[in-house]
């Protein structure tokens, strides 16, 4: 126990040292001194102290590292955004603050999660509403109709929808009895969700929902034949999407040869690859790169900007942090006894893992590019709030275990 507290405090100290180093460096980019960068750093330090005190003081049985991982990732993202556009970083700090508050409230306010397993049809209603919302009243951005706007407020309904999808699948699969009949309804709901994502041309969300569903299906049934069948159906669906939608064919063509149209449709991929290559292992240095050459540099391609200025080592560090977050989330699922809570932890862990693989794979041109946010790092209020809400649920489950 003493060693655990020492490790936790050491990790907290390293986080504060990283915060001081990054925001200190940021404040020196302008002469004589950038006070706004210092204020941002102080606010983040206070938020970290507040969240760590509440969780550590009153909920000492849970995982102490999940919040630190999320904080470091968010800090790297906000520092990078401030270097590109300070106004974007300030907005992201507001969303980060709201996310931390949501995370703490989930842990503090929610009772034992096993009592929520009976609300399956409430979660089902949430899936039905939010998956279809952008199709009915959405607006198109960057080729995908996956945004809904009410006055000055815009958000992605699919971000909320994936929270409901995990909760629904957890409630539906916790009582799996070995019969195929019990899987029909969940399968239809997953197909419903994927269908609307294809119609909205939101291929990134479709891949994330597929990853979540396959992971939860396998862990609940432990039958490989269901997974093989799922991948066969997914292959058929992907082929049909390729045949029916020009948007899909363009993404695949860019993936196969981004240099064929390097100054137009392949510009983002090409500039991202140039940025990562020019940064090398150690990076050009904060403030010494050229993020303006990358079209969408605060959201989809922020990973390329980070690699250019802070090096591929920082990129590897980000991936390691996400892996550790996934590991700690799965660890929480192993130790909790309630099946509903287990499935929730697995589902949200798969959500983070799939989302990271999809966006980093797209930026590095390992898979066709899809416009999804890198959790905690990319700019976006919808992504930040849903990520912290999901992390709060995992934190609550680690308390139960």
- Provide DSSP, 212-260: HHHHHHHHHH--HHHHHHHHHHHHHHHHHHHHH-HHHHHHHHHHH-GGG
- Confidence category of residue 124, pLDDT binned at 50, 70, 90: very high
Which of these ranges, 13-17, 221-225, 273-277, has the smallest mean pLDDT?
Answer: 221-225
Q: 82 and 148: one domain? A: no
Q: 32 and 138: one domain? A: no
Whether 388 maps to a domain, the answer reads no
Q: How many CB atoms lie within 10 A of CB 28?
A: 14
Tell me which of 140 and 121 has the higher pLDDT. 121
- Residue 197 sits at the vertex; the CA angle it makes with 242 and 138, to the nearest 5 degrees, is 120
Q: Which residue among 51, 74, 108 closes a domain?
A: 108
Give Cβ neighbours of residue 270 (< 8 Å, ≥ 6 apart): 258, 259, 262
pLDDT digits (tens, 9 = 90+) for 48-92: 988 888 887 777 778 889 999 999 999 999 999 999 999 999 999
Q: 165 and 239: one domain? A: yes
- Residue 358 sits at the vertex; the CA angle it makes with 245 and 26, to the nearest 5 degrees, is 125
Which of these ranges, 98-112, 235-249, 300-314, 315-329, has the smallest mean pLDDT?
Answer: 235-249
- pLDDT value at residue 162: 93
181 CB-contact burial (10 Å; exposed 0-12 / middle 13-18 / buried 19+): exposed
Q: 126 and 153: one domain? A: yes
- pLDDT value at residue 39: 92
Whether 380 maps to a domain, the answer reads no
3-state secondary structure of 296: coil
Is residue 147 over pLDDT 90?
A: no
Which of these ranges, 140-149, 256-265, 318-327, 351-360, has the smallest mean pLDDT?
Answer: 140-149
- Confidence category of residue 237, pLDDT binned at 50, 70, 90: confident
Q: 99 and 123: one domain? A: no
pLDDT digits (tens, 9 = 90+) for 323-348: 999 999 999 998 888 899 999 999 99
- pLDDT value at residue 89: 94
Report residue 348 as tokens. Answer: 């949200």
Q: 225 and 368: one domain? A: yes
The fraction of the chain above a pLDDT of 70, given in percent, is: 98
Tell me which of 172 and 241 has the higher pLDDT. 172
- pLDDT value at residue 272: 92
Q: 189 and 312: one domain? A: yes
Whether 78 maps to a domain, the answer reads yes
Q: 284 and 154: one domain? A: yes
Q: Which residue among 108, 143, 162 closes a domain?
A: 108
Q: 142 and 101: one domain? A: no
- pLDDT value at residue 346: 94
Range of the domain at 90: 1-108
- Confidence category of residue 384, pLDDT binned at 50, 70, 90: very high
CA distance 365 to 381: 26
Q: Please count the helices (runs of H) and the strands (runs of E) in the chain.
A: 15, 3
Whether 389 maps to a domain, the answer reads no
Q: 253 and 241: one domain? A: yes
Task: State the DSSP code for 326.
Answer: H
Q: 156 and 81: one domain? A: no
Q: pTM surpassing 0.75? A: yes
Is residue 146 over pLDDT 90?
A: no
Whether 382 maps to a domain, the answer reads no
pLDDT digits (tens, 9 = 90+) for 280-331: 899 898 888 899 898 888 888 999 999 999 999 999 999 999 999 999 999 9
Whether 51 maps to a domain, the answer reads yes
Mean pLDDT of 218-241: 86
Mean pLDDT of 126-152: 83
Q: What is the mean pLDDT of the chain?
A: 88
Q: Which residue among 91, 108, 125 closes a domain?
A: 108
Total domain count, the chain: 2
Mean pLDDT of 243-261: 85
Is residue 2 over pLDDT 60?
A: no
- Confidence category of residue 142, pLDDT binned at 50, 70, 90: low
- Confidence category of residue 3, pLDDT binned at 50, 70, 90: low
Task: State the DSSP code for 176.
Answer: -
CA distance 48 to 42: 10
- pLDDT value at residue 347: 94
Q: 47 and 93: one domain? A: yes
Tell me which of 395 and 111 has the higher pLDDT. 395
For CA atoms 141, 144, 150, 154, give the dihedral sign: negative
């Amino acid at each position: 126990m003493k060693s655990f507290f020492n490790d936790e405090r050491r990790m907290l100290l390293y986080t504060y040292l990283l915060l001081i180093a990054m925001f200190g460096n940021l404040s020196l980019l302008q002469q004589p001194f950038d006070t706004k960068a210092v204020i941002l750093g102080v606010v983040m330090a206070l938020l970290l102290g507040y969240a760590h005190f509440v969780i550590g003081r009153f909920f000492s049985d849970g995982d102490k590292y999940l919040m630190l991982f999320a904080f470091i990732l968010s800090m790297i993202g906000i520092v990078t955004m401030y270097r590109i556009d300070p106004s974007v970083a300030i907005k992201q700090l507001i969303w980060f603050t709201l996310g931390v508050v949501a995370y703490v409230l989930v842990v503090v306010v929610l009772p034992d999660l096993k009592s929520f397993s009976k609300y399956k049809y409430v979660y089902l209603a949430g899936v039905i509403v939010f998956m279809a919302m952008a199709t009915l009243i959405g607006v198109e951005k960057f080729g995908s109709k996956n945004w809904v706007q009410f006055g000055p407020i815009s958000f992605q309904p699919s971000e909320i929808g994936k929270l409901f999808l995990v909760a629904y699948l957890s409630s539906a699969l916790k009582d799996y009895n070995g019969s195929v009949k019990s899987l029909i309804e969940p399968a239809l709901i997953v197909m419903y969700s994927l269908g609307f994502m294809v119609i909205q041309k939101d291929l990134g969300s479709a891949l994330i929902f597929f990853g979540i569903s396959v992971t939860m299906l396998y862990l609940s049934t432990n039958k490989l034949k269901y997974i093989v069948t799922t991948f066969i159906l997914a292959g058929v669906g992907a082929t049909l999407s390729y045949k029916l939608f020009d948007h899909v064919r363009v993404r695949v063509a860019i993936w196969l040869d981004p240099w064929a149209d390097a100054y137009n449709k392949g510009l983002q991929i090409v500039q991202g690859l140039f940025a990562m290559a020019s940064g090398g292992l150690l990076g050009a240095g904060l403030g010494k790169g050229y993020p303006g050459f990358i079209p969408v540099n605060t959201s989809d391609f922020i990973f390329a900007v980070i690699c250019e200025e802070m090096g591929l080592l920082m990129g590897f560090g980000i991936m390691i942090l996400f892996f550790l977050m996934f590991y700690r989330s799965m660890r929480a699922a192993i130790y909790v006894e309630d099946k509903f809570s287990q499935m929730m932890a697995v589902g949200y862990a798969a959500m983070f893992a799939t989302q990271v693989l999809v966006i980093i794979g797209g930026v590095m041109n390992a898979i066709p590019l899809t416009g999804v946010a890198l959790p905690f790092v990319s700019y976006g209020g919808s992504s930040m709030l849903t990520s912290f809400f999901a992390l709060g649920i995992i934190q609550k489950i680690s308390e139960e275990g």
